[in-house]
Amino acid sequence: MNQPNAVVTFTDVNQRFGAVTAVEELSLRIGQGERLAILGRTGAGKSTLLNLLIGNLRPTRGTVRVDGLDPYAQHAELQGVIGMAFQTPRLLPWRTALDNVAVGMEILGVPQSERLERARTWLGKMHLADSAGLFPSQLSGGMRQRVSLARAFSIEPALVLLDESFSALDEVTARQLREEFVELAEAERKTALIVTHNIEEAFAISHRVLLLGRPARILAEYAVSDCPAVGTTDFGDLRRSIHQQMVDATRAAMA
Amino acid sequence: MTDATGTVAPTAPPDPGPRTTAAPEPARLGLAGRLVDSQFSPIVFTIVLLVLLLWIGSLVSDPFVFPPLDRIAGSVWQVLTEQWGDMALTLVRFAAALAAAMVFGWALGLLMGAFRRTIGRFVNPLVAVVQAVPALSWVLLAILWMEVVETRIAFVTFMIAFPFFVIAVYEGIRDMDKDVLEAIEQFRPSRLQVLRILLLPQSVVNVIMTFRATAAMTLKLMVFAELIAADSGIGHRLQVAQSNFRVDAILAWTLLLVVANFLILWATDRVEKLALKWRAEAIVR
């Protein structure tokens, strides 16, 4: 399963919380520059996968590797390798947009002048150059989420994680941000893991989509290039099929 | 515009941009309306009412019990010109002791919050015990334990005020938004970086709120401590006035203490506006 250019590998991972199995015999890999979307309903163990990946959890069985390193045991060595944007922006309210973007670089020890310059560049890429001096309370929801994305990208991580990052936004803003994310990820050749429950979103921003059951195990895998384009009639059929699989998986888990 | 799959997407309208709050057009008011609406009106109303009550009191009772206004005004003048040293001494003691309590309480609260499983767990009950000790007990113990007046006053004020800061900062950290902590922890910061980048700035709110809540109480308790345990300061002057049956002097000192309290609250307001300018205040209509 491991490939030389793989940034992330999960090998036969099991994760149990007491009597509850959250992840079951899961193996996957994400190659360099690849964007993988993980699609699943609430409780499918998507967040557990992210927690395993950022080293908050040690798998009960199996191995997780990021750039060949164990995120749990080699926590410090992975500093600066992973950048994550969450469902909500999670900004520091007392810091301006500029200082919020710079916070990751500050922790990584980037000199002040360099980190402020890079933060300004990233705010510019997110179309927020004029809002650098504003506090989060003065920004709209979409702008705050852009700051959060800029914060994740600005440390120039090898791996970007998105945890339902667009789900709290209205559809128009979410679509706009998705497009900007794809542009940036393409330009920077970023490897990304996108966790979502939104079928259209998964297919719109990734190269490959994994459908997870409950507990987390792979039900189906889709190469986006082989699938109908989002918005077409054929995609509607695919969407209905995926939706039905998600419903069936939830019913089976609750039975 | 196309999305990642090549599908033509409708052009998204521009982001609404920074939030702005349009100030409502002020309604045209008459002279009476403008007077009621003025921010100074409640203050002027309170002063006029108090002066009126003092004047009526002096008319209906013995001057020994309720001195006339001119005698109270004379005492205020005497305090300001001849006894200002005692007033300054009390205010300096107050500022020094409260600053020490704030700095120590802030630092201890941060340490307890940053090392909750060790320092936090063990020190929290001790702080609760210190806070539960009555102010009078600290005053009496200070008289018996310490000879130097300044040490007594500083000790009493410090012991009364610092637990409030410790508890406010510690509880503030315990109530911290876990999501924000998680967002910062993704960069794998050291404990010291979490303290500097997250805990310290966040606790500023708790410290300012505690300062606002405890400043007036601390000043009153300090004057009380001076009354019993000191031979200088406002408390001592009040004790002397009481011994000499000088109700006018007691009222004059009381009036100046009230004014000092208002000035402290005003200054705290200014600091709060400056330090917490990032906050969006909710206004209930």
Asked if pLDDT for residue A56 goes beyond 70, the answer is: yes
Q: Sorting pLDDT into bands at 50, 70 and 90, what band is B4?
A: very low
Q: What is the pLDDT of residues A98-114, one digit of tens each?
A: 999 999 999 999 999 99
Q: Which residue of A has its CA nearest to B188?
A: A79
Among B176, B179, B186, B198, most A C-beta atoms within 10 A, so best to mutate, is: B186
Asked if pLDDT for residue A93 goes beyond 90, the answer is: yes
pLDDT of residue A158: 87
Q: Does A131 sit within 8 Å of B18, measured CB to CB?
A: yes
B197 part of contact set with chain A, CB < 8 Å = yes
Domain positions in chain A: 1-81+197-255
Report the topology of domain A1-81+197-255: Rossmann fold (3.40.50)
Q: Does A93 sit within 8 Å of B12, measured CB to CB?
A: no
Asked if pLDDT for residue B3 goes beyond 90, the answer is: no
Q: Higher pLDDT residue, A45 or B241? A: B241
Averaged pLDDT for residues A148-153: 91
Q: Whole-angstrom Cα distance, residue A98 to residue A132?
A: 5
Chain B residues in contact with A206 (beta carbon < 8 A): 4
Q: Residue B8 — left, alpha, or beta (φ > 0 → left; ψ -120 to 50 → alpha)?
A: beta
Chain A residues in contact with B15 (beta carbon < 8 A): 127, 140, 142-143, 173, 176
- Low-confidence winner among A63-67, A95-99, A178-182, B102-106 (lowest mean pLDDT): A178-182
Chain A residues in contact with B189 (beta carbon < 8 A): 107
Q: Is residue B166 part of a domain?
A: yes
**Structural domain count, chain B:** 1
Q: Does A82 sit within 8 Å of B18, measured CB to CB?
A: no
Distance of CA B263 to the CA centre of its chain: 11
* Strand ranges for A32-164 from DSSP E: 35-39, 61-66, 82-85, 159-163
Q: Is residue B107 part of a domain?
A: yes
Q: Is residue B251 part of a domain?
A: yes
% of chain A with per-residue pLDDT over 90: 44
Q: Which residue of A has its CA nearest to B14?
A: A173
Asked if pLDDT for residue B87 goes beyond 60, the answer is: yes
Chain B residues in contact with A178 (beta carbon < 8 A): 3-4
Min distance A146 CA to chain B CA atoms (Å): 11
Q: Does A127 sit within 8 Å of B15, measured CB to CB?
A: yes
Q: Sorting pLDDT into bands at 50, 70 and 90, what band is B237?
A: very high
Asked if pLDDT for residue B249 goes beyond 50, the answer is: yes
Distance of CA B49 to the CA centre of its chain: 26
Tokens in use for A75? 């926590």
At B234, which CATH number?
Answer: 1.10.3720.10
Residue A75 CA: distances (Å) to CA of A4, A71, B166, B190: 22, 5, 32, 12
Q: Does B182 sit within 8 Å of A86, measured CB to CB?
A: yes
Min distance B282 CA to chain A CA atoms (Å): 11
Q: Is residue B138 part of a domain?
A: yes
Asked if pLDDT for residue A198 goes beyond 60, the answer is: yes
The answer to whether A125 touches A184, Cβ cutoff 8 Å, is yes
Q: Does B18 sit within 8 Å of A138, measured CB to CB?
A: yes
- Residue B218, domain extent: 75-275
Minimum-distance CB partner of A84 among B16, B186, B276 = B186
Cα angle vertex B185, ends B191, B199, to 5°? 50
Q: Is residue B243 part of a domain?
A: yes
Of chain A residues 79-138, which have a CB less than 8 A from chain B? 79-80, 82-84, 86, 88, 90-95, 103-104, 106-108, 127, 131, 134-138
pLDDT of residue A61: 93
Among B15, B274, B281, B283, most A C-beta atoms within 10 A, so best to mutate, is: B15
Q: Is residue B34 part of a domain?
A: no
Q: What is the pLDDT of residues B15-59, one digit of tens each?
A: 555 554 445 555 566 777 777 777 777 878 888 898 888 888 888
